[in-house]
Structures are given as structure tokens and as C-alpha cells.
Amino acid sequence: MQQQTVGKPIRIEGNGLHTGKQASLTIHPAEPNSGIVFLRVDVNPPIFLKASVENVHSAQRCVTLGKDGITISTVEHLLAGLWGMGIDNALIEMEGEEIPALDGSSAPLVALLKDGGIIRQGERRKVASLKEGVWVRKGEAHIVAVPSPRLRITYFVDYNHSYASEQIASFVITEDVFEREIAPARTFGFDYEVETLLRNGYALGGSLENALLITKDGPATPLRFENELVRHKILDLIGDLSLLGFYPKCHILAIKASHTLHLELVRQLSSKMNIRRWII
């Protein structure tokens, strides 16, 4: 499989989910082997920030990348859309501190990528196989990665809520599967946690247009999938996996996990699946 980049620049504008602040970005084509790189052009001097686990600044409620005091938050939905659609290389010119929320999913980005075209490049994609199992856990949350000939993600959640209790989903991750089954799943929250989120500086830009709200009476807007919550958790995990910088061949089983645990898995996989094991 060849590396890929975007066919033409893609412009996105909107408010951030957590900050509520206006931001804009342009996704530009990039050379092979350059990876996904952000460029904050609204700071002086402009700063490059590679989408890498080494640059993770925080993982509370969202993933924030940072370097030299400059951050970009809520990168996971954008990165999931790029990685899920097979984009290996892109330069993301960013104005603002948070990625625009759009509709809370990766579907709008997927549509823009398809409209602009995806270009194959001359270099082979970086792919790595897992040789032994990896297990990370925190309390009741677990993630296990085991060897597999292809990337499969199986995810289980349980929110102990009458309208959002146990959900499970399992997919072999391909571009078609991502576009159809995962990208449309929206970020979500529960009505009982809104006040706490706002008090702590989160979800300041949240609305029914960019998030799925679960109330005591059920979803405030129609579900896109019966198990939309767990599908969005898979979307989040795909975005976090993109910080590896290569495509892993393994089966990942996640139970009640979070960005923090996702990123611990990424760190473990990064050390287990090193450059000597790349299939190129």
C-alpha cells in the first residue's frame, strides 16, 4: 500500500467544542514520510507541531498536543478522519487553539477529503506487526492488543444509564468501514454532567449541532446508530492510534477506556512495534 496525501487544500472553520472559540484550519498536501504536522500560524514565531504521542500535552476529555507553551486541543476527530481515510501525510495550517467541532464526528471531514481527492504517493506506507500481546489497565478500564494480520478494534462501554447502557462493537478497520460505520458517530455527553463540565471549562462550545446529548428521557436528537456511543469511542481510539505515526496490525480490545488509557496503549505499541518491524 502506498502512502497518501490530500488532493488539494481543504479549509475548515468553526467553533471549538470545549473552548467555544472560533478557529480555522487548512489541510495541505505534504511530501511522503512527512506525517501529519500542524502549523500554528497565529503565534509569533509560527510553530510546527507533529501529530505524535511524544507531543501529547494532556488527555482530559480530549487530546491536546503542545510544544513550547503552544497547544492545539481536541485533535482526535480530525486525526481519526485523516487516518481512517488513509491520509499519511498532511500539513495542517492552524489559526486558533482548538480544532473546529463541525458536527461532533469525522463525517464532514470525510466528505471534504473525498470531494478534494486523495493522492497516492511514491513511498510505501509504514505498517508494523505486533509480535506479542500488550495490556494496559486502570481500575475497571482495560485495553488489550494482540497479534492479528489486520487492524481490528473491539470496544465495550457501560454507562449504567437506561438509554445508554452496555454497548459493544467490533470492526476490521478499512477506509470503507471507517467512512460508513465509524466516521458519522458523534461525540456525546450526559445531561447530568453538563454543569460540571462547564464549571471546569469544558464543553463551552457544545450544542445539539455538534454533540449527542443523552438525557433521562433519551437522546435529545435522533441517533445515527443504535450503538452510536461505542462507535464514537472507536473513532476516538482511531484518532489516538494515529499518533503512532504508522499503521499497526493487531486486534485491540478496549473495555470502558478513555483517552488516557488509549495513549498509554499507543506508548506501549510504539515501543513494541519499532522501525525494525516495519513492513515496507
Do residues 109 and 25 make contact, with C-beta atoms less than 8 angstroms apart? no
8 Å CB contact between 26 and 55: no
Helix axes 76-84, 107-116, angle to 10 degrees: 40
Instruction: Respond yes or no: is residue 259 known to be catalytic.
Output: yes
Write out the E strands in 106-259.
118-124, 127-129, 134-138, 141-147, 152-158, 166-172, 188-190, 212-215, 218-219, 247-255
CA angle 67, 69, 75 (to 5 degrees): 55
- Rounded Cα distance between 23 and 19, Å, is 10
Which of 18, 77, 232, 259 is the catalytic position? 259
User: Of 94, 16, 17, which is closest to residue 50 (Cα–Cα)?
Assistant: 94
Buried b (16+ CB within 10 A) or exposed e, 53-85: bebbeebebbbbbbbeebbbbbbbbbbbbbbbb
Active site residues per annotation: 259
